[in-house]
């Protein structure tokens, strides 16, 4: 198979096509790898990522291998799966043995919820700002005598560290938060929360899907016991190919709720009481999503080649422009402004105008954003540019003034 990084022009001596002479990314060229950006202003990565053309090539090569005389030897190879694990670990900063290649955020959270050694009367803490998939996985525990404590957001939509920690008591066993909240876009203070959880011996779980691939922070530096992230947002993988990071200290704090081939340290079916795999492999079972993992690997290479540091800077600059655009046309920004309290999402308060209607009107204009919890959410990524943001505010101003007439 061809070397994908070389094909994408991502490796070799600078200047390569995707980098400027000073070694910084050539964002214009990189944008060109996302065909949809020619047609629309896509400010909706918080819903689904656009995928670079090289993800499509990975899928094409996967099928081509099956159609060739190789008959799928590479496409269905477990070595390919391990290559994905190594690449994801390198890109997002963790040892490969701490990564389980799970289907999505929900699967990872359910593994913890169902595998944890709960005692009657225990509780866990989440917040009202969590996505369905960091809420529903915990709900069935109520039938087992476990209290699910849901911390309310304050009137501005924020959930503070103080509010989360105030909900904890001596029976709290797990605290689970989004790194970046999907609606407001608030970034959690991982340092404060992880230190608190460590001191109280609480398992700290982070839903990282809205931050992974945007922010420059290693997975093994979250201070988390478990990090869950579906693949289909800034990881630029596909649905069904996500990841779960399990800190070595947390490996034995919950049991894999499922077991099949690859869960154990043996493939010998005659062993009556097999021992779980010694690392995060134990949370995987059965045949993996080979096609999804091939795409996940290619996209993780791509992200690493650009560099998370450069990506974070780019998203910071573009979201600053979104905030400026909102200020200019007098739309209230709900998301906190300090960079360490937000990431790629900016939530806008349309002052009573229906966010659903405006989302639909903007879509007609070729501008994709989302209505979330009654507000308009714009989410930028490195393939966006200044023109996308200008188009958004030009049309938003138009639709809002029409609504005000």
Q: Give the residues lining the site for ligand PLP (CB under 6 A).
A: 104-106, 131, 133-134, 178, 182, 207, 209-210, 230, 242
**Phi, then psi, of 15 in degrees rounded to 5:** -80, 120
Q: Which is nearer to ligand PLP, 106 or 289 (CB)?
A: 106
How many residues are there in the chain? Answer: 405
Q: Which is nearer to ligand PLP, 182 or 245 (CB)?
A: 182
| Least spacing, CB of residue 253 vs ligand PLP, in Å | 21
Q: Which is nearer to ligand PLP, 106 or 263 (CB)?
A: 106
**Nearest to residue 153, comparing CAs of 115, 126, 120?**
126
List the beta bridge partners of residue 379.
Answer: 44, 345
List the beta bridge partners of residue 377.
Answer: 347, 370
Cis peptide before 15 (omega within 30 of 0): yes
| Least spacing, CB of residue 75 vs ligand PLP, in Å | 24
Q: Which is nearer to ligand PLP, 75 or 347 (CB)?
A: 347
Largest Cα separation within the chain, whole Å, is: 76
3-state secondary structure of 120: coil
Q: Which is nearer to ligand PLP, 367 or 370 (CB)?
A: 370
Q: Which is nearer to ligand PLP, 33 or 369 (CB)?
A: 369
| Least spacing, CB of residue 47 vs ligand PLP, in Å | 7
Cβ pair 383, 26 in contact under 8 A: no
| Minimal CB distance residue for ligand PLP | 230
Give dist(CA 210, CA 344) in Å, integer.
8
Q: Residue 118: CB partners within 8 Å, gap ≥ 6? A: 141, 144, 145, 146, 173
Q: Which is nearer to ligand PLP, 104 or 289 (CB)?
A: 104
| Least spacing, CB of residue 20 vs ligand PLP, in Å | 33
Helix boundaries (H) for 169-307:
190-200, 290-306
- Give CA angle at 75 (69, 77), nearest 5°: 110
| Least spacing, CB of residue 68 vs ligand PLP, in Å | 33
| Least spacing, CB of residue 173 vs ligand PLP, in Å | 21
Report how far apart, in Å, the C-alpha atoms of 156 and of each of 6, 153, 336 are. 47, 7, 10
| Least spacing, CB of residue 255 vs ligand PLP, in Å | 21
């Amino acid at each position: 198979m061809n070397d994908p990084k070389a094909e994408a022009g991502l490796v070799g001596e600078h200047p390569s096509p995707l980098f400027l002479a000073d070694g910084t990314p050539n964002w214009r060229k990189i944008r060109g790898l996302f065909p949809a950006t020619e047609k629309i202003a896509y400010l909706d990565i918080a819903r689904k990522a656009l995928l670079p053309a090289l993800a499509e090539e990975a899928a094409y090569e996967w099928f081509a291998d099956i159609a060739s005389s190789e008959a799928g030897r590479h496409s269905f190879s477990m070595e390919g799966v391990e290559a994905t694990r190594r690449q994801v670990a390198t890109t997002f900063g963790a040892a490969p043995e701490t990564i389980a290649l799970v289907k999505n955020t929900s699967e990872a959270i359910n593994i913890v919820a169902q595998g944890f050694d709960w005692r009657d009367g225990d509780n866990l803490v989440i917040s009202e700002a969590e996505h369905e998939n960091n809420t529903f996985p915990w709900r069935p525990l109520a039938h087992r005598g476990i209290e699910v404590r849901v911390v309310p957001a304050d009137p501005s939509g924020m959930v503070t560290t103080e509010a989360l920690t105030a909900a904890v008591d001596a029976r709290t066993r797990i605290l689970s938060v989004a790194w970046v909240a999907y609606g407001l876009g608030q970034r959690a203070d991982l340092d404060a929360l992880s230190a608190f959880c460590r001191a109280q011996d609480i398992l700290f779980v982070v839903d990282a899907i809205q931050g992974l691939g945007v922010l420059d922070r290693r997975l093994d530096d979250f201070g988390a016991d478990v990090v869950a992230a579906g693949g289909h947002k800034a990881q630029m993988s596909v649905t069904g190919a996500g990841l779960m990071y399990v800190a070595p200290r947390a490996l034995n704090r919950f049991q894999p709720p499922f077991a099949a081939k690859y869960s154990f340290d043996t493939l010998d079916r005659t062993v009556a009481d097999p021992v779980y795999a010694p690392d995060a492999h134990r949370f995987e079972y059965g045949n993996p999503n080979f096609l999804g993992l091939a795409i996940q690997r290619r996209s993780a290479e791509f992200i690493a080649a650009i560099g998370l540091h450069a990506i974070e800077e780019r998203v910071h600059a573009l979201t600053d422009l979104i905030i400026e655009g909102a200020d200019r046309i007098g739309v209230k920004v709900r998301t906190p402004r300090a960079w360490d309290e937000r990431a790629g999402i900016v939530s806008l308060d349309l002052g009573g105008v229906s966010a659903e209607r405006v989302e639909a009107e903007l879509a007609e204009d070729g501008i994709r954003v989302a209505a979330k919890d009654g507000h308009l959410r714009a989410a930028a990524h490195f393939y966006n540019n200044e023109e996308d943001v200008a188009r958004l505010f030009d049309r938003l101003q138009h639709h809002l003034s029409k609504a005000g007439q």
